[in-house]
Amino acid sequence: MIKKFIDNLISKSSDALSRKKPKFGKRVDIPVQTHGIDPNLVDERAINVVRTLHDAGFEAYVVGGAVRDLLVGLRPKDFDVATNATPEQVKGLFRRAFIIGRRFRIVHVVYGRGREHEVIEVSTFRAYLDNAAAEQVAGNEKTSRSELAGMKHAVDSTGRVLRDNVWGPQEEDAVRRDFTINAMYYDPQTQVVVDYHNGFKDVKNRVIRMIGDPATRYREDPVRIIRAVRFAAKLSPLGFELEKKTAAPLVKSQDLLADVPQSRLFDEMLKLLQTGHALASIEQLKKLGMARGIYPLLDVVVERADQPFVNAALKDTDRRVGEGKPVAPSFLLACVLWADVRDGWARRLEQHQHAHPALMDAIDDVFHARIGDVSGGGKLASDMREIWVMQPRFEKRVGSTPFGLVEQARFRAAFDFMRLRADIGEVEEVLADWWQEFSMADDNLRQDLVDQVREEQQKRKHAPRVHRVPRADAAAPATATANRADSTGDAVEPAAGDAAAPRKRRRRRRPGGGSSGGAAGDGGGNPNN
């Protein structure tokens, strides 16, 4: 009896363990006649990486979002490759290849140079590992860096994976991926799609579904919360929606993002805003009840998305990405935070501070309050500063200023910024048009444009000031008009035809000079122009 009881207990324990094992899924090979992928949409450099690995005796596939996009007829912007070769083996097969990352070691294979370069990201098949059996650290990636050194699989106290560098077979790699539609493998040589978790079916049904238990998967890597929003935004025009079970834990899991490094959250925010679906991403955040709490700067973007200037910037970013043009995070963030800079500058000018120092102080306050140490001291910060500082300089269109300004490295970004301001009526349209013409002109035409502005300014400077008075009775003598003008303190002299022309008065100087007019670098400027 006792033996039978023990056997039953062991059997139940084994059953419980088997239930906890992940569903690796059954491999299904989908031929080209079924999936219909157009091979012309596959980047030749990705094909070359796969071919090189095959020739060296390794398995290799295009993987992830690229396969998903190919299945719906889109040309992927990025191509990732998965292989059973280790990072060191991959690196040895390519002339320009670099191993990056600590948490998740991958290889970047680089083609081309400069801005035109292309990176094919190559990852090694990951093994499935029970996080309960992983090495645990008390802190996080930042506080436990020395403790994590040498670990291949480690989690923190919440279950978040801090190291994931144990290699395994393809079926285990598939279950480690997040969404079913991102867990398919495509061999561009045989044109076969390998599917383990009904990803192909979910693509056809337009469903975004998490592999495994969504709450657990979000806990393993909280950044998946943001990825879910991004995919829902990107694919919503094609009819995709988050599965209810996948969407349900999102809001409750949001607190997990507090333990993610700020730099990683900053990067994920930029992916939300700069992949061509910024407005759709903001709508998804609102729809899912996640408009606040992901990242402080993202909260500001969502809050101001309906403001004309920020909305115009978001639309412009989506348009540029859609047209295949480059976008810079500095430009979009400069647009989002411009209201803070402008208002802080205006307050300082009202206190009779000089324009340029006032502008710089306002910018410093914005960086301290909104951005902090994430990117405030790098290139992003310097580009944002240049965009803002150039704005008052656009008001000065005489002398050497226009010629020097148009040669600045960040002129185009600053001009586009000013153009958006003109589009919403913050500055005059004629100013934007003038700079557009000036930037496209040759030296002779540029000088003509400057001379024209100088002549117009001189005409306005020397033009007599006309004081309008109430219209007198037609029979009243001209002297009556003179008397009325006299009463205002302006002496008037009769002119031909009994018309009265006022003499120029000496204008009193305003106290606290530099409160208006000129460029920031010249002791003047108006942030509201």
Enzyme catalytic residues: 78, 80, 178
Q: What is the rounded CA–CA span in Å between residue 522 and residue 395?
A: 11
Could you tell me the two tokens for 183?
């867990």
Could you tell me the two tokens for 479?
């002297």
Q: What is the rounded CA–CA span in Å between residue 79 and residue 61?
A: 10
Q: Could you identify the residue written with the tokens 């292989």?
A: 83
Decide if 194 contacts 28 (C-beta within 8 A). Answer: yes
Give the torsion sign (CA, 474, 480, 484, 489): positive
The H-or-E segment that residue 147 falls in is: helix 145-148
The set of residues, in sequence order, having a beta carbon less than 8 Å from that of 507 and lying 6+ positions away, is none
**Residue 427 buriedness (CB in 10 A; 0-12 / 13-18 / 19+):** buried
Cα–Cα separations (whole angstroms), residue 161 to 205, 228, 269, 444 = 31, 18, 21, 63
Cα–Cα separations (whole angstroms), residue 41 to 28, 70, 270 = 23, 7, 26
Radius of gyration for the chain, computed over Cα atoms and rounded to the nearest angstrom: 32
Decide if 525 contacts 519 (C-beta within 8 A). Answer: yes
Give the torsion sign (CA, 192, 198, 199, 200): positive
The set of residues, in sequence order, having a beta carbon less than 8 Å from that of 466 and lying 6+ positions away, is 502
In the three-class reduction of DSSP (H, G, I as helix; E, B as strand; rest coil), residue 502 is classed as: strand
User: What's the helix, strand, coil split of the chain in %, to 5?
Assistant: 55, 10, 35
Tell me phi and psi for residue 306, to 5 degrees. -90, -10
Cα–Cα separations (whole angstroms), residue 157 to 161, 212, 221, 225 = 10, 21, 13, 19
